[in-house]
Amino acid sequence: MLVNIVCPKCNTSGGFSITDAYYIGPYKCWKCRAVLKINMDNNRLVSCEAMSDEEAARFEQEQEMKRRSRGGR
C-alpha cells in the first residue's frame, strides 16, 4: 500500500509504498533528502522523525547483518 508521509523538515508530503502492515525503517524525503525514521503499525503511521546520517547508516548495517544471518542456510 502507499502511505503518505509528511517530512517534518520541509513539510513536503511524499508517497512511500510498503509491503507489510508493520514497518520500522528509513524513508528519504525526495525534496530535502532528509532521512526519516518511520514507524508503521497495522498500516497506520505511528511516528516519523528525522534520522541522522549516522543513525541511518547504522540502521542499514543492522539490516544487512540480519539479511546475512538469515540467508546462511
Give the interface with Zn ion as residue ranges (CB under 5 A): 7, 9-10, 29, 31-32, 34
Give whichever of 9 and 58 is closer to Zn ion, judged by the CB atom: 9
Bridge partners of 26, per DSSP, are 37
Shortest reach from residue 9's CB to Zn ion, in Å: 5
53: number of Cβ within 10 Å:
9
Give whichever of 9 and 66 is closer to Zn ion, judged by the CB atom: 9
Give whichever of 34 and 56 is closer to Zn ion, judged by the CB atom: 34
